[in-house]
Amino acid sequence: MKERQSLIHLLLILGGLGAGPLLAQPDLDLPPEVWDSSPLLQRWAEEIPDVLTDIREEPSFRPLVRLGYTYFPEPGARSGLGIGAEDLFLERRQPWSLSADYQTSFGAQQSGGVDGQYYLLPLGYKVNFTPLVGYRFLQSELDTVQGLSLGMKLRVSLSPTGAADLRLSQQFIAPASNREGGVTTLSLGYALTPSWRLAVTLQQQNSPAQKNNSAGLYLEFLN
């Protein structure tokens, strides 16, 4: 009965229902080996953490690097290579991050860029938005567009551990100029293991002289 009361008392404290400060280890009447082997109990004994804040600020997605196959259906149905990195945080739990990507058909058609991001909602939210500010270029047989890139990205985290997500972004290159171009990107990733996942990316590129589409299949490593 005494052991049962101690367990109930402990659950009340961990659930935030206990009245008054957290009791020290002797008051919980737990065996010393249980106390010594539980960092969670020791942490709660020192200070009750703000669990809600932890949930809100712990990112629902993880930094990643990718490498894969890219297909350009027009002109000429060309295959190529794509590489990139996404959400490289300058500091964990802070909304600032960097992303970069590059695609090439090993010919005249290539594109890429670097973006700075600032997530507008807490990182733990399943749905989030970020402005995109950076540099981007599009090069094809008919045209080349490059310069300042401005845009927005929507991220939907389908798993709290970054195992699956959907991303949709729209970017404008050299906006408000007579050489303005645009890039629309849709990407869906799904984990194969805790550290590796597959992603499919569809992209439409618009320049003053040409519209290009591409599709990519990537292997991504989650950090």
Q: How confident is the prediction for the chain on average, in pLDDT? A: 82
Q: How far apart are CA 115 and CA 135, in angstroms?
A: 7
How is residue 190 written in tokens? 């799904």
- Condensed to tens digits (0 to 9), the pLDDT of residues 3-44 reads 444 544 554 444 444 434 444 444 556 677 776 777 766 766
Among candidates 92, 88, 89, 111, which has minimal Cα distance to 101?
111
Would you state the pLDDT for residue 77?
79
Is the full-model pTM beyond 0.75?
no
Would you state the pLDDT for residue 47?
65
Would you state the pLDDT for residue 54?
61
The pLDDT > 70 percentage for the chain reads 77
Would you state the pLDDT for residue 9?
52
Q: Does pLDDT of 50 surpass 70?
A: no
Q: Does pLDDT of 167 surpass 70?
A: yes
199: part of which helix (H) or strand (E)?
strand 196-206
8 A C-beta contact, residue 189 and residue 199: yes
8 A C-beta contact, residue 181 and residue 172: yes
Would you state the pLDDT for residue 28?
58
Would you state the pLDDT for residue 38?
74
Residue at 150: amino acid letter:
L
Enumerate the CATH 2.40.128.130 domain ranges in the chain, comma separated.
64-222
Residue 57 burial (10 A CB sphere; 0-12, 13-18, 19+):
middle
CATH of domain 64-222: 2.40.128.130
